[in-house]
Amino acid sequence: MGWSFQDKHQLHDELGPLFTLVTPAGNEVTVADPQVAHAVLARRKDYIKPAVMYEQLNVFGRNLNTVEGEDWQRHRRLTAPSFNEKISSLVWDEAGRQAYDMISSWTRLGESGTKDTVADTATLALHVLTNAAFGAAYPFSEGVRTVSPGHEMTYRDSLGLCLSNIITFAILPKRYLSFSFMPRKLQRLGQASREFQQYMDEMLTSERTSTKYEKTNLMSALVRASDEDAESKASGQDSSKLGLTDDEIFGNIFAYNLAGHETTANTVAFALCLLAAYPQYQDWVREEILQVQKDSLPTDEEQSYEHIFPRLQRSLSVMYETLRLYGSVVFIPRAASSSPQTISTNSEKGTRDVVIPPSTAVNINVQALHTDPNLWGPDALEWRPKRWLLQQSNGTESFISTAPGQFIPWADGPRVCPGQKFAQVEFVRVMFTLLAEHRVVPVPRADGQDEEGARDEVREMVDDSGIQAITLQMREPERVRLRWEVL
């Protein structure tokens, strides 16, 4: 389905909002109708996640992304409390600390600028995740390089290596990676998986032996919810409750890291490149940031997540517009359950019912939905963050309302991504920190390229993206340097 990023909505313009690809291996229905997309994602029992595609996410244990039925209900009930306002506040503070260190490193590069925007935002996102997941704090520039006693790799390095090789785990189970005849690169990946498993074992033990529930991170929230369920069952208050096993806690922690690392990092990197290419929108975002700063007192309370985040609507609109055109997920796979499913779709001839045979693949074409001119207007392919906000009569701005199924970067329905708010808070805080006192511009090439030519090259670099591993990424992210100027 990587073709959908380049195709946008063109194939659906020709074939309609739903079409079926007929192959010897089975039929696949591709959907770019928001009403149908919403219905498919809302009916989780009728349209399930294809096990063969999600099995690779069970590297360290079953998790919310991979289970179905009653197991999914149990995981959802126990994992949902992990993403609370305390975690959002923690993410706000840590993203600000990482972004401050990142911009400091960029400004020290001077006129030459940086070619490592993608690599650096990946580091930032990884550090925010490690802090939110386990309370492990790492400085941006180097990270903690001291290997913990009993280990041969740092936590950061072991996790990073596992995350960047998720496809390898789908091909080769972990237990095979340590064989002596395996290439050195695969043996190192096997070592990383063992090291990360050991770190999680140690952190889980620490959570359960420390003062009860004294910490605020995703691991402590999972342990708290799971232990409370187990205690409720043991005391006879509710015999139906069943907590998460240790492997399921590990599986969910890894899934959080996988879902929240590359996706958020790529969104931040795409947005920074686009803001450099479109200085008018950078000025528009900065205008709101400066106003929010002006209206806030320089105290800890006034600079807090609760006071600042809700007021940065333009920064959030930049995230939405970036996800609309350059979202990490370009399609969402589902499969009809073991019985035929009927869905209704609108056409020029009116509403008609379509019967989906059992076990048929149903792919939601997110990229087509996000670029449909019938939904977004004739400028659907243009990056225009202002489209998300409406000017009110009193001078304030408010977000537009989209139809169900029209904008689904975090999926939709009961299986919507639980880390949606986490990602929004992290993104907005990074924009707030970077743009408050700086602006970003592309560095023209030494061969006489002018500023407009440099901005055009940034746009070309961003548009030359494709699916790498499992997410959308720029193919040549080091092609253009970006310079950060102090204002």
Rounded CA-CA distance 387/98 in Å is: 30
DSSP letters spanning 311-342: G-HHHHHHHHHHHHHH-S-SEEEEEE-SS-EE
Rounded CA-CA distance 58/64 in Å is: 10
Q: Identify residue 463 by its one-letter amino acid code.
A: D
Rounded CA-CA distance 386/478 in Å is: 28
Can you say whether the dihedral through the CA atoms of 294, 296, 300, 303 is positive or negative?
negative
**Are the C-beta atoms of 21 and 30 separated by less than 8 Å?**
yes
**Are the C-beta atoms of 193 and 59 separated by less than 8 Å?**
yes
Rounded CA-CA distance 165/157 in Å is: 12
C-alpha to C-alpha distances, 174 to 103, 158, 177, 254, nearest whole angstrom: 38, 14, 5, 14
pLDDT of res. 147 = 82
pLDDT of res. 311 = 95
pLDDT tens for the chain, 487 residues long, are: 679 999 999 999 999 999 999 999 899 999 999 999 999 999 999 999 987 778 878 999 999 999 998 999 999 988 888 888 999 999 999 999 999 999 999 999 999 999 999 999 999 999 999 898 888 888 888 654 568 889 999 888 898 899 888 889 888 888 899 888 999 999 999 999 999 999 999 988 888 887 555 667 888 888 887 877 666 655 555 545 678 889 999 999 999 888 888 899 999 999 999 999 999 999 999 999 999 998 886 665 667 899 999 999 999 999 999 999 999 999 999 999 999 999 988 777 778 899 999 999 999 999 999 999 999 999 999 999 999 999 988 888 999 999 999 999 999 999 999 999 999 999 999 999 999 999 999 999 999 999 999 999 999 999 999 998 789 999 999 999 999 999 9
Rounded CA-CA distance 27/21 in Å is: 6
**Are the C-beta atoms of 439 and 281 separated by less than 8 Å?**
no
pTM over 0.85: yes
Q: Where are the alpha helices (DSSP H) in 235-340?
A: 246-277, 279-295, 305-308, 313-326
Local structure of 138: helix, strand or coil: coil
**Are the C-beta atoms of 368 and 331 separated by less than 8 Å?**
no
Q: Which residues contact 116 (CB under 8 A, 6 or more apart)?
A: 478
Can you say whether the dihedral through the CA atoms of 20, 54, 365, 48 is positive or negative?
positive
Record the tokens describing residue 19, joined without a space. 């079409």
Rounded CA-CA distance 92/253 in Å is: 20
Instruction: Tell me which residue of 133, 430, 390 sits closest to 258, measured CA to CA.
Output: 133
Distance of CA 104 to the CA centre of its chain: 25
C-alpha to C-alpha distances, 127 to 73, 97, 144, 426, nearest whole angstrom: 30, 10, 10, 11
Looking up tokens 């990197």, which residue turns up? Answer: 269
Q: First-to-last CA distance in the chain?
A: 43
Q: Identify residue 460 by its one-letter amino acid code.
A: E
**Are the C-beta atoms of 58 and 253 separated by less than 8 Å?**
no
